[in-house]
Amino acid sequence: MVWWQVWWVWMVIAGVLGVLEMVVPAFVFLGFAVGAAITGILVGIGAPSGGIGVVLTVFAIASLGGWFALRAAFARNHGRPKVWDRDINEN
């Protein structure tokens, strides 16, 4: 069995990418970590039954979907400036 058909390899890749996101906070690696986790789950249940091209395509689509979902969930005011309505020094 080759490495891209083993579910736990994808979970390790997801963990490494998650830790890399904490070390280098660029909001890029987290989408790839989500994609690797989804790919690991799908490989674990046997969904992508093909070669490396099929598995990497699943990873790419899952990463892009994860990135868009995280961007929608954690977006800041969609380009508008932050408006402060109270002072942190007030009690």
Could you say which residues of the chain have pLDDT below 70?
76-79, 91
Neighbours of 62 (CB within 10 A): 21
**Encoded tokens for 7:** 């579910």
Residue the block writes with tokens 């904490």:
22
Domain limits, the chain: 3-73
Give the pLDDT confidence score for residue 63 in this predicted structure.
Answer: 96
Q: What pLDDT, on the 0 to 100 scale, is given for residue 82?
A: 74
3-state SS string for the chain: CCHHHCHHHHHHHHHHHHHHHHHCCCCCHHHHHHHHHHHHHHHHHCCCCCCHHHHHHHHHHHHHHHHHHHHHHHCCHHHCCCCCCCCCCCC
pLDDT of residue 42: 94
